[in-house]
Structure 1
Amino acid sequence: MLRDGQGLEVGAADADAIEALDFLREEWLVFGKRFQPFMEAADREERCALLPALAANLVLSMNSIEGRALGAGYLERAKALEQNANPRERAWIAATEAWLAGDGDRSLALHEKIVAGWPRDLLAGKLGQLHAFNQGDAKALMRIGEQLLAANRDNHFVWGMCAFGLEECNRLDEAEAHARTAIEMERKDPWAHHALAHCLEARGRMVEGVAFLEGVADTWEDCNSFMYTHNWWHLALFLIDLDRTDEALALFDNRVWGVWKEFSEDQINAISLLARLELRGVDVGSRWTDVASYLKDRLHDHFVAFLDLQYLYALARAEQHGAVTEMLASLEDRAERAKPFEREAWADAAVPAAHGLAAYAKGDYGEAAQLLGRAVPHLATIGGSIAQRSLFGAFHLDALMRAGWNDAAVKILQIDERERPTVPATKRALAELYRKLGRTELAMAADYQAGQLARQYRSVKGNAA
């Protein structure tokens, strides 16, 4: 029995199949865009079940109706070849079948089982982390990364994968160290760049974040649209917090939106960036209309709640009222059909959050604050990263402020300031609320600190120029 480049046995494989599998592993982990040769190899394969099984996972990761249809076809071919498969490959087929059936919990468990038994299977770890990410299971994300690292300490991809899991569990010192180790081993590791960006963002180290990402951005040119647009999205977040919103809006136009407008990941990068810019008072013009025009077929997707909420908000901002009404009803139906392991995500988080976002877009801030407040304690379950989900907390905070619920808003802002004391906008918002509450000295102090930070950042920008 032949082995792949990681030393794993592959059932019924010839040299061409091994070459295709090794190519896929490297291309997937580097977030490349040259997947067509592998898909053609999978289409030709008549003996090795692992090729069509992995092809199914690749298209399912697109989060689209078309991807599901293609995935079903590849899974059928993998099952037809299952008699040639070894136990690891049968577990892959079972995990793929569970994913296609909408049982992400079982798919995650099976991928964790593969990683435990064959920790050199890096793609099993990558898919396991994807399922953990989509379920908001940070501990599983971290477990998988740590298990992979124990058996692959010579592999920079694994250091980056482990770093992201640690970051999502708020083990920021370890996460940063792991990400930097990956980058020292291989400068062109976009996922390690991404993990380090998360660490810097979590601590409000925006100047450092801009310098770092701009320093490695030249390595993203060969990345697929998700990784390319998402790392530029991270740079835009740093710029927004540095009050350089004009530069962030330019990144939206030139880097974040327009690579592959039909792809779900590109869409949510665009949606969340526009929303964050508007929350900071930026006029984004007609951009919502363009983004929403690509969402008309997303109303009943419901692959990941985190995605659905952003689709809905974009439609609401584009004033697609009929589509919003239809999608809200569809989300409620999805929540009714939720499996036990996903009920919190859909019923307790997604449905009230969706109604809250729709209310916010209409200017019904009291209702938005109430509905988003119901969802906030459950948001970790909807999927996405801490940084991505913070958008919904930002909507909740802004709704509280606009509705005049100042005491509740101050408490949230004080927590934000403790965690990220370097953001001028946070201090300005606190100053505004302190004035409304008659706490004049605190308002003056917050205003002074905001001004000091803003001058400091302008000075750094001027020196860099």
Structure 2
Amino acid sequence: MSQDVLGNKVSTTNEKTLHGINAFILGYLGYDLRLVEILGIADQSDDCLANTYAGLLWMLSETGDIPADALRYRDRAKVSCDQALPREKLLFAVLEASIAEEPDRIIELTDTILSQWPRDLVTLKLRQYHDFIRGRFTDMLAVAQNSEKAAGDVAALHGMLAFGFEQCHDLDAAERSAKRALEMDPSEPWAQHALAHVFLTQGRIEEGIEFLEAQSAGWKHLTSFMYTHLWWHLALFYLAQKRKTDALKIYDEHCWSRERSFSQDQVGAVSLLVRLELAGADVGQRWIDLAEWLAPRQNDVSQPFLSLQYLYGLLKAGRPEGEHLLQRIENLSGRDLPDQRAWDLVGIPVARGLKAYLANDPVTAEGYFKTAIPHLQDIGGSHAQRDLFMQIGKDITRQLSRLSD
């Protein structure tokens, strides 16, 4: 029996397997590219935890379906699950619940793990992810606070606290937690991210630009999402200063330059292009290029927050896949899905509203947006990300005002 890098007991005694497990833990918490090392390690090991982590990594890839590799690692983990430690067995159950698309079961299991092993920050990060995509921000903060006493020596914990505080509108606490994380580890990316949110929300534009520009040289080793998302935040600060050329340069050189097949990179690109156009920038043929990568998402209704942005990009580019995705979204009406409330109150009406907006029908678009905006939190995403729909709503209002003049 050994311990992982956070001091949690693990059943493996194989040094290579333990190295892979630790690389995943540090990589997942720090958005570092080394997290993918777990895939090669799992391929060479029958260890339950290593294969569980590999399966969970695939489930976090947001492909819009259940990846075959997630099933493969699930099956490999199951072979040795009987010999695993209790925490490892519970983590395997989390993987099974993820594959079965049982979000409430995931919450139950992660609560159980964290109540007994509060230094299991991978489970904490995974739990926060599921709270985040369902708009449960108070829960996201609470679970991090419950681990603070046991894991207060870990910078990543304070980064998770900072983002939780920010999403719960406690900006002073968010700034304190982010700065504490950065005192412990100046490169902690989630704390940098949380602090960027604080600066933007408080209108501290010059301070935000100075901070992110100073940090940007250290982002090259980050995973595609974290790399592009931090640059995305810097672009928002530039747009706040009406620096459209600089924001467009970030889009070309950073936000749409890494892993173009990943969901978060795709919606970040959509979101930035919309904001650029609303600011009056000429984005040229960029919608056409982006839509080529969005086209495979025509059946992806796994998360309304993601699907709505895929839809915008496809409709904007005039792709037939946009109409197909719209119909897929329409077909979700009246179903009994785990996120049915989010679809009924936000996803479906906003999809209809985006269709009308892009068809230059602001009257129809306004009706749909008015019903959805009060419930926007239900689709998850951060304040800054959801603000995209608020900005479109404001543009609809401007269009209506011009019509009445």
TM over 0.5, yes or no?
Answer: yes
User: What does residue 311 of structure 2 align with?
Assistant: 312
CA contact (8 A) 1:200 1:208 kept: yes
User: What does residue 171 of structure 1 align with?
Assistant: 170
CA deviations 1:120-154 (Å, max 9, x no partner) are 10100111111111111101110122122221111
User: What does residue 29 of structure 1 align with?
Assistant: 29
After TM superposition, give the deviation of residue 113 of structure 1 in Å: 2.3
User: What does residue 89 of structure 1 align with?
Assistant: 88
After TM superposition, give the deviation of residue 59 of structure 1 in Å: 1.1
User: What does residue 58 of structure 1 align with?
Assistant: 57
1:352 is aligned to 2:352: no
CA contact (8 A) 1:42 1:51 kept: yes
Secondary structure, aligned partner of 1:315:
helix
- The amino acid across from 2:327 in the alignment is A
User: What does residue 128 of structure 1 align with?
Assistant: 127
Q: What is the CA–CA distance in structure 1 between the aligned matches of 2:331 and 2:109, rounded to whole Å? A: 28
CA contact (8 A) 2:64 2:301 kept: no
1:337 is aligned to 2:335: yes
Q: What is the CA–CA distance in structure 1 between the aligned matches of 2:66 and 2:252, rounded to whole Å? A: 27
User: What does residue 118 of structure 2 align with?
Assistant: 119
Q: What is the CA–CA distance in structure 2 between the aligned matches of 1:175 and 1:357, rounded to whole Å? A: 33
- The amino acid across from 1:70 in the alignment is D
After TM superposition, give the deviation of residue 89 of structure 1 in Å: 1.5
Q: What is the CA–CA distance in structure 1 between the aligned matches of 2:311 and 2:318, rounded to whole Å? A: 11
CA contact (8 A) 2:315 2:323 kept: no
Secondary structure, aligned partner of 2:181:
helix
Secondary structure, aligned partner of 2:9:
coil
Q: What is the CA–CA distance in structure 2 between the aligned matches of 1:36 and 1:197, rounded to whole Å? A: 27
The alpha-carbon distance between structure 1 residues 288 and 245, as it changes in their structure 2 partners (threshold 3 A), is same
Q: What is the CA–CA distance in structure 1 between the aligned matches of 2:150 and 2:12, rounded to whole Å? A: 26
The alpha-carbon distance between structure 1 residues 335 and 71, as it changes in their structure 2 partners (threshold 3 A), is farther
The alpha-carbon distance between structure 1 residues 2 and 155, as it changes in their structure 2 partners (threshold 3 A), is same
In structure 1, stretches of 5+ residues that fail to align are: 407-432, 437-465
The alpha-carbon distance between structure 1 residues 335 and 148, as it changes in their structure 2 partners (threshold 3 A), is farther
Aligned 1:164-243 pairs, distance under 5 A: 164-243=163-242
After TM superposition, give the deviation of residue 109 of structure 1 in Å: 2.9
After TM superposition, give the deviation of residue 312 of structure 1 in Å: 0.2
Q: Choose the corresponding residue for 1:325, options 311, 314, 323.
A: 323
After TM superposition, give the deviation of residue 67 of structure 1 in Å: 6.2
1:390 is aligned to 2:396: no
Q: What is the CA–CA distance in structure 2 between the aligned matches of 1:405 and 1:352, rounded to whole Å? A: 24
CA deviations 1:304-352 (Å, max 9, x no partner) are 21110000000011011x222211111123344343x421111211011
The alpha-carbon distance between structure 1 residues 73 and 65, as it changes in their structure 2 partners (threshold 3 A), is farther
CA deviations 1:376-419 (Å, max 9, x no partner) are 1221111211110111111112112211299xxxxxxxxxxxxx
After TM superposition, give the deviation of residue 65 of structure 1 in Å: 4.9
User: What does residue 39 of structure 1 align with?
Assistant: 39
The alpha-carbon distance between structure 1 residues 378 and 65, as it changes in their structure 2 partners (threshold 3 A), is closer
- The amino acid across from 2:38 in the alignment is F
Secondary structure, aligned partner of 2:33:
coil
CA contact (8 A) 2:65 2:300 kept: no
The alpha-carbon distance between structure 1 residues 41 and 73, as it changes in their structure 2 partners (threshold 3 A), is same
Aligned length: 405
After TM superposition, give the deviation of residue 284 of structure 1 in Å: 0.9
User: What does residue 9 of structure 2 align with?
Assistant: 9
After TM superposition, give the deviation of residue 66 of structure 1 in Å: 7.2
CA contact (8 A) 2:66 2:99 kept: no
Q: Give the TM-score normalised by structure 2.
A: 0.96
Aligned 1:296-307 pairs, distance under 5 A: 296-307=295-306
The alpha-carbon distance between structure 1 residues 188 and 332, as it changes in their structure 2 partners (threshold 3 A), is same
Q: What is the CA–CA distance in structure 1 between the aligned matches of 2:358 and 2:135, rounded to whole Å? A: 26
CA contact (8 A) 2:193 2:230 kept: yes
Fraction of identical pairs, as percent: 37
CA contact (8 A) 1:12 1:84 kept: no
Q: What is the CA–CA distance in structure 1 between the aligned matches of 2:172 and 2:141, rounded to whole Å? A: 14
Aligned 1:117-156 pairs, distance under 5 A: 117-156=116-155
CA contact (8 A) 1:33 1:222 kept: yes
CA contact (8 A) 1:61 1:67 kept: no
Q: What is the CA–CA distance in structure 1 between the aligned matches of 2:402 and 2:96, rounded to whole Å? A: 48
- The amino acid across from 2:26 in the alignment is E
CA deviations 1:196-232 (Å, max 9, x no partner) are 0011111111111101100111110111111111000
Aligned 1:215-294 pairs, distance under 5 A: 215-294=214-293
- The amino acid across from 1:51 in the alignment is A
- The amino acid across from 1:31 in the alignment is Y
Q: Give the TM-score normalised by structure 1.
A: 0.84
The answer to which of 358-367 and 158-167 deviates more is 358-367
The answer to which of 325-334 and 62-71 deviates more is 62-71
In structure 2, stretches of 5+ residues that fail to align are: none
- The amino acid across from 1:17 in the alignment is T
For the pair shown, the structure with the greater C-alpha radius of gyration is 1
The alpha-carbon distance between structure 1 residues 8 and 335, as it changes in their structure 2 partners (threshold 3 A), is farther
